[in-house]
């Protein structure tokens, strides 16, 4: 169904708020819909999808239409991304906008600079080109496509096979994820909040790559495990199920608000071995008291999030070279602090959802150079033990063009026994 003129006007209003990049796009959308409760479900879906498409392709749309004005960007979206032909668009744009529409549609982007063709900020082109070389266009094409909806099955409740069979019976278009033994991938994005398996805690929304991160910790029954940057608890819940609800699982975070968002999910999950703890900072006294006591520590470090551009396209416009430099200092500090928790023979997993080596391999290499008591454990060997048909070498490096997941990095390090 083609959009109506009123929808396009509302889209331009929404873009005006989004393009300030003052807040995350999902928060801006949520606030907009709260402020306009009269906008129906279908219109909300259209506005969100179109707005995210414009954010993904912002540089090329601005270039094609020669403007950054929200209304002009809507016209450029109509011309280049909506899939509508000229006849369908004629009734949606004003007569004096048709020339701009036609010019945007015909603009030869293939002659543009790399940053424009790939819809990237200038500062990000060089580091990504250095890492990915000729693969970069394919990577960014995948990053500029909407992400699938992946679910993790809570095996405390039922097996993946049973969950998948039930979802297929209930009419979902679902398949098993290729690498994670816990994942189900949906081909569309149906509302799940009222679905019984979701309400019961048998299903959680979690990207397949994120599922693999928690599996790489190797957490077992009865162990002491720490999710050092737990946030809203997606990986914490996965770890708890992996531990069969035994042992002690600490969920640390410096944000009480983020940890609070875990509570309803924790209640649904059936887990009783999780102990959320708010830290004042990474060197909190709680960390010192628990030093050397943990079998497994997961550090899903605060990062640029550039591996999640399929879901959060605004991040590439909100981050800067300076913000990345600040993050790498924080990442190194957090990893150093978390390492103190690991007991002799224990494992430390460092992970991000970033594409940049400066946030990934460089952090791990510097840490290992400064901590000779830790040794790198090849991720491909750990994946082999999990039965995953995946080999990315010594580190886990996932990307949407090659693996169909968000962009993830992980390294496993073991403390000398």
Q: Tell me the pLDDT tens digit for each residue of 81-112.
A: 998 888 888 888 888 889 999 999 999 998 89
DSSP for 1-50, please give it: -PPPHHHHHHHHHHHHHHTT-SS-HHHHHHHHHHH-TTS-HHHHHHHHHH
Question: What confidence tens digit (pLDDT) does each residue in 112-124 have?
Answer: 999 999 999 999 9
Question: What confidence tens digit (pLDDT) does each residue in 299-314 have?
Answer: 999 999 999 999 999 9
Judge contact between 246 and 270, C-beta under 8 A. no
Q: What pLDDT score was predicted for residue 2? A: 55
Q: What pLDDT score was predicted for residue 1? A: 44
Q: How far apart are the first and last CA of the chain?
A: 63
Q: What pLDDT score was predicted for residue 191? A: 85
Residue 229 bears catalytic tag = no
Enumerate domains of the chain plus CATH numbers: 5-112 (no CATH), 149-205 (3.30.70.1170), 208-415 (3.40.50.150)
Catalytically annotated residue among 226, 229, 303, 353: 353
Give 122-158 as a 3 state SS string: HHHHHHHHHHHHHHHHHHHHHHCCCCCEEEEECCCCC
Tokens of 75: 């016209």
Q: What pLDDT score was predicted for residue 388? A: 84
Q: Is 254 helix (H, G, I), strand (E, B) or coil?
A: coil
Q: What pLDDT score was predicted for residue 361? A: 98
Residue 410 sits at φ, ψ, to 5 deg, of: -155, 150
Q: What is the DSSP letter of 342?
A: E
Closest by CA to 269, choosing from 204, 357, 182, 351, is 204
Partners of 259 in the β-ladder:
none
Q: Give me the residues of the chain with pLDDT under 50, please.
A: 1
Measured from the Cβ of residue 224, the count of other Cβ atoms closer than 10 Å reads 19
For residues 104 and 214, what is the distance between their CA atoms, to the nearest angstrom? 45
Q: What pLDDT score was predicted for residue 65? A: 96
Q: What is the DSSP letter of 275?
A: E
Q: What is the DSSP letter of 246?
A: -
């Amino acid at each position: 169904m083609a959009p109506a003129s009123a929808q396009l006007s509302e889209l331009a209003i929404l873009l005006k708020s989004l393009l300030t990049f003052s807040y995350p796009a999902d928060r801006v959308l949520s606030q907009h819909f709260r402020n306009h409760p009269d906008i129906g479900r279908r219109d909300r879906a259209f506005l969100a999808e179109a707005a995210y498409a414009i954010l993904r392709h912002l540089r090329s749309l601005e270039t094609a239409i020669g403007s950054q004005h929200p209304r002009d960007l809507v016209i450029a979206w109509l011309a280049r991304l909506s899939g509508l032909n000229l006849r369908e668009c004629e009734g949606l744009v004003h007569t004096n906008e048709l020339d701009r529409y036609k010019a945007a549609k015909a603009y030869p982007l293939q002659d543009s600079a790399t940053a424009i063709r790939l819809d990237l900020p200038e500062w990000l082109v060089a580091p990504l080109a250095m890492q990915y070389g000729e693969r970069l266009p394919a990577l960014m094409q995948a990053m500029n496509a909407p992400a699938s909806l992946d679910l993790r099955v809570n095996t405390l409740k039922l097996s993946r096979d049973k969950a998948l069979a039930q979802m297929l019976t209930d009419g979902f278009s679902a398949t098993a994820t290729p690498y994670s033994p816990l994942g189900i991938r949906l081909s569309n994005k149906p509302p799940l909040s009222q679905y019984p398996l979701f309400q019961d805690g048998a299903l959680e929304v979690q990207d397949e790559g994120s599922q693999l991160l928690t599996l790489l910790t190797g957490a077992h029954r009865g162990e002491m495990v720490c999710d050092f940057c737990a946030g809203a608890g997606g990986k914490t819940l996965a770890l708890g199920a992996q531990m069969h609800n035994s042992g002690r699982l600490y969920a640390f975070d410096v944000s009480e608000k983020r940890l609070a968002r875990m509570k309803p999910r924790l209640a649904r999950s059936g887990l009783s071995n999780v102990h959320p703890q708010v830290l004042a900072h990474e060197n909190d006294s709680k960390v010192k008291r628990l030093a050397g006591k943990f079998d497994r520590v997961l550090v899903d470090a605060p990062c640029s999030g550039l591996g999640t551009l399929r879901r959060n396209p605004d991040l590439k416009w909100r981050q800067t070279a300076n913000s990345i430099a600040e993050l790498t200092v924080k990442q190194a500090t957090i990893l150093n602090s978390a390492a103190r928790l690991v007991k002799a023979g224990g494992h430390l997993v460092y992970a991000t959802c970033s594409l940049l080596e400066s946030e990934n391999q460089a952090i791990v290499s510097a840490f290992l150079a400064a901590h000779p008591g830790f040794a790198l454990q090849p991720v491909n060997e750990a994946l082999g033990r999990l039965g995953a048909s995946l080999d990315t070498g010594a580190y886990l490096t996932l990307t949407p063009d090659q693996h169909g997941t968000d962009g993830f990095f992980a390294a496993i390090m073991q403390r000398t026994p």
